[in-house]
A and B are shown apart, each in its own frame.
Chain A
Amino acid sequence: MDEETLVRAARRGDRGAFDRLVERYSHAVVARQFGWTRDTAAAEDLAQETFLRAWQGLGRLEDIRAFGSWLLSIGGFVGQEWLRRKQADQKARMTFTAPAPVRQDDGPDPALARALAELTSEVQQLLALRHDRGLSCEEIARELGRPLGTVTKTLSRAYEQLRARLARQ
């Protein structure tokens, strides 16, 4: 079933259809939230909140074909809110406790996550389709209903931006 059909069904209240969309975008949303939090547990919480908000606000989605970027933009808002709360919380705690040590684990690359999170929702969606779901450029173009040239150009530009951001860090 294609994404447009799933989104239409979900808009009609079909929870199963939205579950399928969650499966499709879980990696992309978690990746985006991990860019903000650099903590997988917190990223999972924010991803859950992102899907919840999307489910509740699905009726407000104007362009059904833009579901992916719309969902990731919601993830951006959720992440920014979390970051503001975190910063305010840290300011309040600074005077009492030392800053928490940076977590080192075997998880996803925080630098790459951060660089990803700074990209636009559309570009993040493209990268997720390409590297999470493993779609080819032709499949992505078909999925999003965009010209193949647009997809390839956008992807190559995304790589350049990522590389530049990683070099800065």
Chain B
Amino acid sequence: MNDDLEKQLDEFYRKLDGPARRVEARWKSTPDAGSNRIAAWLGAGVAAAAAILLMISALRTGPKPVERPVAQGETPVEPAPRPVEPQPPTPLPVRKPAPVQAPKPDETPRPPEPRPEPPTPDPTPKPEPPPTPEPKSPPEPPKPPTPVPETRPLRATAKLAETEGSFELADRSVRGKQKEFTVHAGDRLRATTTVKLTLADDRFVLLAPRTVVEFRPEEKKLALALEQGDLLADLLAPRSAW
């Protein structure tokens, strides 16, 4: 019995010779798969990542040409930035006075750029830092209260409990009693008649006609500064009332 079955099995495997040889041939003809394929994929992944990093760095360095003149105007070390250098030396001094108003938007991107450069030129980055802090320092004080706008609307404000009398404030004339009257830092109040400014229930200021006072910011508060004329009554704790 076993002999028959064993013969059957021998014949069975022998008849598979053809397919088995073809499988071997196919396998040997297939390009290296598997572990090497994984290695190839890993290699491709690393290459792709490197390409992406290069693209990112290229994008970051894209805007640099504008800056390089500022940083490398003095250093004749690298060949690539030089073409841009000849132009900037002159604009540099011109820009410095201007930055207070317009260049602010351009300067925010600048700080990240100098960082990649430092590795090669040590002396060059030194000239760069000064330009950036200079323009930033003047505009920053008004910014804290409100983020974006840097103009007058962002000025500090205070509310006067009540005003009485006629006066001109910021090119507009005010008459009679005004409740919860808002004033801004830098506003100038010119009294046309005797003016009573009520800061609180028991705190007020009497201004003589033609007196000019200015509301000036002082430590997050507004203070009255007498510029012209006389105070008819003392100011009682004016700053704390605001």
Contact = CB atoms under 8 A, between A and B. Distances in A.
A48 B36 contact: no
B23 A109 contact: no
B26 A48 contact: yes
Interface string A20-57: 00110011011100100000110110011001100110
Given A15-B32, A55-B34, A56-B35, A48 B16 contact: no
A77 interface: no
Contact of A26 (B5, B11, B20, B35): B20
Contacts of B21: 26
Contacts, number: 94
Interface in A123-160: 127-128, 130-132, 156, 159
A159 B10 CA distance: 13
5 contacts: A19-B27, A27-B13, A52-B30, A55-B33, A131-B12
A19 B17 CA distance: 17
Interface string B1-39: 110011011111101111111111011101011111110
Interface residues of B, number: 31
A31 to B, nearest CB: 6
Given A31-B13, A48-B26, 12 more contacts: A27-B13, A30-B19, A31-B16, A34-B16, A34-B19, A51-B23, A55-B35, A56-B33, A58-B34, A131-B10, A159-B5, A163-B5
A19 to B, nearest CB: 6
A107 interface: yes
A48 B25 CA distance: 10
Interface residues of A, number: 39
Contacts of B15: 106-109
A43 B5 contact: no
A165 to B, nearest CB: 11
A33 to B, nearest CB: 9
A22 B34 contact: no
A112 interface: yes
Interface string A90-133: 00000000000000001111001100100000000001101110
A-B pairs, top 9 by smallest CB distance, nearest first, are: A26-B20, A55-B34, A56-B34, A131-B9, A132-B13, A108-B15, A47-B23, A27-B20, A40-B19
A6 interface: no
A29 B8 CA distance: 18
Contact of A44 (B8, B11, B12, B19): B19
A162 interface: yes
Given A56-B34, A58-B35, A108 B27 contact: no
Nearest to A53: B34
Contacts of A163: 1, 5
B19 A43 contact: yes
**Which of B2, B11, B20 is packed against the most chain A CB atoms within 10 Å?**
B20
A106 B13 CA distance: 13
B16 A52 contact: no
